[in-house]
A and B are shown apart, each in its own frame.
Chain A
């Protein structure tokens, strides 16, 4: 990748011996929440004009560290130096005044405001808007030119594609005089092309002297754009590397603390009979078409992956296929059961005919944080006679069920009474998967199988999904992690604006081609030079208008 060569050139120039003090230096930062040490004696040095990656598993303490730097939390102990001066940061206001800007994972934009209004918000600089908006406009246009961040100041923010919204966030930070920019998982909602675009912007910012901290859990991003990388694990900074001097495998090992298998080990699929056939599913909500004539089938013994930028109908598809949302149009055939808008099946009835569902967002749907693990482990099956007497529930059976699931699926700690919220993300996900997989469903729907799950658990989850496929289940996977889709799926369907816009066999898939489909650039444009494609995608405002929220 061309960006990488620039990176390498730069990082050589910025040696550790160079005269200017680090843009940011954190010394022995510690922060505990109750008994949990989210950060423990963390040191970090970010050199000016570099991109510094911070990588670590979920729960490693990356976000806590950045929240301390940006003034959301105060550290229990430790010092912060900005350009060599010791500073105390009590609030994000302080952080901004010291030249620190942050682009959050979930954008902090008012969708009904124009770009200009969003940029000004909170920094109006006067009682009357007219005067300040004039100067703000000039300033904004100047910034856009200087950093090649073109965006229409009068466009309604909600109408912009996600990539451009992110650009507005960056402009917002620069407008407030940020010289140090923190980006928290910035690529989570972007297509591969938009990601490339973002990296180009970061590259330009770096060349203008902006220091950037990039928080991510994606190894390839670290390799692609950063100059240096710090690895966090369990609240501590385990090591720091120059990006050119490390590798994905080494970083993964540092993150987890042991060797991990990044590739999924699997044999070819032997698809057999069709277990689920959806025909012409269409769903509309408030005038917005969320699903547009989606037809697909799932065969026994195969994994079908749904690729797509988040918010293009995947959520609705899972809701339809699991009965959470009644059908409006179309039909689903499962075995000899035909579900139509008139013959509705509830999620419970879907379960009864052998459809398991691991929802995309376990906190929103798949579990109840306040429930004990044993209660989360019977969700959807709480009326099962196995767990019930005539009136009272059989607490012993419920407890045993949970203990068994925890044992079989390696959920730790193995304590059925522990509150669901107190398990780590990976263990929560394993518990949800265990619940759904344990019944050997004919069809298993899995949304974001490894969202917020640490690498060790990812390996385990992938292995189990493949084991289930080989045992003859049909599995549908929805994931925003393209790599995951590519490595697990035997067949990949790409969704865009509620439609299925392409189908690729798992073996032949590559990120570039899928990325184009995800942005609906279509196959016909695949032969454009990369720059053209990017432009093409980011200019498609109308096509993206529904892509906003995630």
Chain B
């Protein structure tokens, strides 16, 4: 009967509380900046300008955002089935391998509009396959998915390392990367896209993959809350026994959810390989898979939240880089510290302020709204 009774309205839960958490993070970051003898207000100004100030900065911010949306969604989907997919990094990497192989095979023969849908499918299949093994081991053999997905990240790195240095490397080349992809395998950048309308903007890595990210967000929302499969996923996540009772094949749901999660993470490969680097290179996931965990946490595992959180993280990445250019005493490490504070306050300490806010809220709302005692 003592269960926490009334829930907070959504605008507090997903709006106000994260905002307060971010504020905390910035206050603490400001203190640190103050301690090293710089002006925190100035730093914030630079950071915001660095992230949103002009088309160049904004382009970079949105480019990072694209990757975070993919990996954030991947973590969130798995999380709804109460699976903790730490393997976004490896799934993105293997997805990129799939994209790379497909493009290398087809770019001489067919145009982009053939390659792109195929690339999405192949990338998804590769990512899903990489998630399938840990998922199978979890569902049918009981190995813990956190452990196996982490291990699979390392395996992915070693595997691609091998493939690039031994198989795909151009003869005579010293760097472990594939040959450059032809134009037919390039996703148009925003510079290209704006160019079609005669608008000139600076080149940034931002490309049309961001549309795929937004479509994926809508897809995840529809899938989780508006299909019977998503219903099964959420039920499994909330209550394993109830899922069993309802006749849901829990093992199949675990495997299916992880495959979907892996496919979402793999789209980082589309953005990176076809949108930016235009060849298969090493290390392109660059930690996006791990940051996706923080993004999902902060976005409360909801697609809208994830898009917003991705934007924030994108802004921190880009604004932080600019900041370290502008103020020499603020080095890259300081930027990492600020990001760390944001993750700490929005992820690990996400519920810190909650009880206090709850108390305030209930103190301010009239008492006569009492609900039936549980």
By a beta-carbon cutoff of 8 Å, the part of chain A in contact with chain B is 33-38, 58-59, 61, 63-64, 67, 73, 234-235, 322-324, 346-351, 357, 359, 364-371, 375, 378-380, 382-383, 387-388, 391-393, 395, 412-413, 419, 421-425, 427
CB distance from B202 to the nearest CB of A (A): 41
Q: Which residue of A lies closest to B370 (CB)?
A: A35
Max chain A Cβ within 10 angstroms of own Cβ: one of B222, B241, B372:
B372
Residues of A within 8 A of B371 (CB): 35-36, 422
A61 and B239 within 8 A (CB):
no
A–B Cβ pairs within 8 angstroms, 9 of them:
A33-B2, A34-B362, A61-B1, A347-B246, A368-B235, A413-B372, A422-B5, A422-B374, A425-B374
B244 and A347 within 8 A (CB):
yes
Max chain A Cβ within 10 angstroms of own Cβ: one of B1, B362, B365, B369:
B1
Q: Which residue of B lies closest to A67 (CB)?
A: B2
Encode contact with A along B331-374: 1 for CB under 8 Å, 0 otherwise: 00000000000000000000000000010001001010111111
Residues of A within 8 A of B4 (CB): 33-34
Q: Which residue of A lies closest to B369 (CB)?
A: A35
Interface residues of B in 240-259 (CB under 8 A from A): 241-242, 244-249
CB distance from B257 to the nearest CB of A (A): 16
CB distance from B162 to the nearest CB of A (A): 41
* B3 adjacent to chain A (CB < 8 Å): yes
A351 and B238 within 8 A (CB):
no
CB distance from A91 to the nearest CB of B (A): 16
A347 and B247 within 8 A (CB):
yes
Q: Which residue of A lies closest to B249 (CB)?
A: A346
CB distance from B176 to the nearest CB of A (A): 43
Q: Which residue of B lies closest to A419 (CB)?
A: B7
Point out the residue from A370, A383, A424 that lies within 8 Å of B238, measured CB to CB.
A370
Q: A379-B242, A380-B247 are in contact. List 20 more A-B contacts (CB 8 A).
A: A35-B362, A35-B371, A36-B6, A36-B374, A73-B2, A235-B373, A346-B247, A359-B245, A368-B239, A369-B239, A371-B235, A379-B235, A380-B246, A382-B246, A391-B227, A392-B222, A393-B231, A419-B7, A422-B372, A427-B372
- A349 in contact with B227 given A34-B4, A366-B242, A392-B222 (CB within 8 Å): no
Residues of B within 8 A of A378 (CB): 231
B373 and A59 within 8 A (CB):
yes
Residues of B within 8 A of A424 (CB): 372-374
Residues of A within 8 A of B232 (CB): 382
* B226 adjacent to chain A (CB < 8 Å): yes
- A382 in contact with B2 given A367-B242, A424-B373 (CB within 8 Å): no
CB distance from B113 to the nearest CB of A (A): 25
A349 and B247 within 8 A (CB):
yes
Q: Which residue of B lies closest to A413 (CB)?
A: B372
Residues of A within 8 A of B5 (CB): 33-36, 422
Max chain B Cβ within 10 angstroms of own Cβ: one of A34, A37, A346:
A34
Interface residues of B in 1-53 (CB under 8 A from A): 1-7
B374 and A59 within 8 A (CB):
yes
Q: Which residue of A lies closest to B372 (CB)?
A: A424
CB distance from A105 to the nearest CB of B (A): 13
A64 and B235 within 8 A (CB):
no
Residues of B within 8 A of A347 (CB): 244-247
- A34 in contact with B246 given A393-B226, A393-B227 (CB within 8 Å): no
B374 and A368 within 8 A (CB):
no
Q: Which residue of A lies closest to B366 (CB)?
A: A35
A36 and B373 within 8 A (CB):
yes
* B228 adjacent to chain A (CB < 8 Å): yes
Q: Which residue of B lies closest to A452 (CB)?
A: B1
For chain B, the count of residues having a C-beta within 8 Å of the partner chain is 35
Complex CA gap A87/B246 in Å reads 50
- A58 in contact with B238 given A391-B227, A422-B371 (CB within 8 Å): no
The 5 A-B pairs of least Cβ separation, nearest first, read A348-B247, A347-B247, A36-B5, A34-B6, A34-B5
Complex CA gap A63/B374 in Å reads 12
Encode contact with A along B301-321: 1 for CB under 8 Å, 0 otherwise: 000000000000000000000
Residues of B within 8 A of A383 (CB): 228
Residues of A within 8 A of B227 (CB): 391-393
Complex CA gap A350/B246 in Å reads 10
Residues of B within 8 A of A346 (CB): 247, 249
Max chain A Cβ within 10 angstroms of own Cβ: one of B239, B244, B362, B369:
B239
Complex CA gap A525/B157 in Å reads 72
A365 and B374 within 8 A (CB):
no
Residues of A within 8 A of B372 (CB): 412-413, 422-424, 427
Q: Which residue of A lies closest to B1 (CB)?
A: A59
CB distance from B108 to the nearest CB of A (A): 37
B228 and A357 within 8 A (CB):
no
- A395 in contact with B226 given A61-B1, A365-B245 (CB within 8 Å): yes
- A37 in contact with B247 given A367-B242, A371-B238, A422-B5 (CB within 8 Å): no
Complex CA gap A412/B372 in Å reads 9
Point out the residue from A59, A73, A323, A393 that lies within 8 Å of B228, measured CB to CB.
A393
B1 and A379 within 8 A (CB):
no
Residues of B within 8 A of A421 (CB): 3, 374
Point out the residue from A37, A357, A380 that lies within 8 Å of B373, measured CB to CB.
A37
Residues of A within 8 A of B231 (CB): 375, 378, 382, 393
Residues of A within 8 A of B367 (CB): 35
Complex CA gap A366/B239 in Å reads 10
CB distance from B2 to the nearest CB of A (A): 6
- A392 in contact with B226 given A35-B371, A36-B370, A425-B374 (CB within 8 Å): yes
Interface residues of B in 196-251 (CB under 8 A from A): 222, 226-228, 231-232, 234-235, 238-239, 241-242, 244-249
Complex CA gap A73/B370 in Å reads 20
CB distance from B370 to the nearest CB of A (A): 5
Complex CA gap A346/B238 in Å reads 21
CB distance from A544 to the nearest CB of B (A): 26
CB distance from B242 to the nearest CB of A (A): 5
Complex CA gap A323/B122 in Å reads 39
Complex CA gap A412/B234 in Å reads 25
Residues of A within 8 A of B6 (CB): 34-36, 422
- A388 in contact with B241 given A35-B5, A36-B370, A380-B247 (CB within 8 Å): no
A379 and B246 within 8 A (CB):
yes
CB distance from B302 to the nearest CB of A (A): 14
Q: Which residue of B lies closest to A36 (CB)?
A: B5
CB distance from B194 to the nearest CB of A (A): 35
Complex CA gap A422/B372 in Å reads 8
Residues of A within 8 A of B365 (CB): 35
Complex CA gap A382/B4 in Å reads 29
Complex CA gap A89/B222 in Å reads 51
Complex CA gap A424/B371 in Å reads 10
Max chain B Cβ within 10 angstroms of own Cβ: one of A368, A393, A423:
A368
Complex CA gap A34/B227 in Å reads 34
CB distance from B167 to the nearest CB of A (A): 40
Interface residues of B in 41-91 (CB under 8 A from A): none
Complex CA gap A368/B249 in Å reads 17
A38 and B373 within 8 A (CB):
yes
Q: Which residue of B lies closest to A378 (CB)?
A: B231
CB distance from A372 to the nearest CB of B (A): 10
CB distance from B56 to the nearest CB of A (A): 41
Residues of B within 8 A of A357 (CB): 245
Point out the residue from A63, A322, A391, A413 that lies within 8 Å of B1, measured CB to CB.
A63
